[in-house]
Amino acid sequence: MGSVKRFIEQQQAEEERQAWVEEQVDFNVVLGDDEWAEMEKLYDKRLMEGTLYEPDFNENWGLEEEIEWSKANPHSIAFGDFCNQIVRLNELMGDSEDPMQQKIQLSYAVTLMESCLSEMLKSVTLSSLVFKRNALTNVYGLKDTTINVNHLLNNSSDELIEKTIINYLAGLIYHNIGNVLKVYTAILGGKIENLPEDIIKKINDATTLRHDIVHRNGKKATGEKNEISRDIIDKHIENINQLVDQLFLYINMSIPDTEDPDF
């Protein structure tokens, strides 16, 4: 039984290691890649130091400013900014048949999506005691956070909670859409309605193309050129709009009518 128990513990430890690495790397980085190996080394180092889930509250990171901004700018503002900018982007480039402009259009559309998803999630999470509790108890990598006792000297409990949450949410990779949706539902609860089953694949296709455009001028890692056309870019942007729209509606439906005073 002792050897079986050790085997199970080793399996669990490896699963936790893999889950942590997946949280840190881009979605198209896989086991065997150099970036994956580097993150495994970082995991092992932090595990030995006992700092695996310890947030960095270095004041130079501007966590206080980030918290203040998120509280002052509700998720509806982030959504409105996204809508206005994506419309303006399409007005400027939506009819262009120039491949260069099409590359720019898609790249900026993905950037707008990432920014909106990040700002909406940070803002709505800090707006509710219920959501802050959910974040601390349901989100992998956040619920396991350890706090250095020295931070207690300079921060109230509420400040520590908010800094811990924002530190984590600001570090998410928002084009790893599968993971982002898990975090959204872990914090807000319930189910995201009217979201196509293949939306994760569609958004991943868009972000992969953006990655190839930014890093290899539109070529895949194999050297093969990606197909880029007006129809392809329009479809990617349509999918981005659909995702952001549905997440905005999901947030509105998830906001509690009343707050639980016992937090």
Number of domains in the chain: 2
pTM over 0.85: no
Q: Count CA within 13 A, CB hemisphere, residue 25.
A: 22
| Residue bearing the bigger pLDDT, 84 or 223 | 84
Same domain, 7 and 135: no
Give the model's confidence band at 221: pLDDT under 50 very low, under 70 low, under 90 confident, else very high: confident
Domain that holds residue 35: 1-49
Element (H, E) at 96: none
Same domain, 110 and 218: yes
In a domain, 56, yes or no: no
Same domain, 128 and 239: yes
Q: pLDDT of 100-112, one tens digit each?
A: 999 999 999 999 9
Count of Cβ atoms closer than 10 Å to residue 120 Cβ: 25
In a domain, 120, yes or no: yes
Same domain, 42 and 105: no
If we measure between CA atoms, which residue out of 144, 112, 138 comes closest to residue 125? 138
In a domain, 259, yes or no: no
What own/partner pairs with CB < 8 Å and gap ≥ 24 does 97-106 have? 97/230, 99/218, 99/228, 102/228, 102/229, 102/230, 102/233, 103/213, 103/218, 103/228, 105/233, 105/237, 106/206, 106/209, 106/210, 106/213, 106/233, 106/236, 106/237
| Residue bearing the bigger pLDDT, 55 or 203 | 203
Q: pLDDT of 63-93, one tens digit each?
A: 888 999 999 999 999 999 999 999 999 999 9
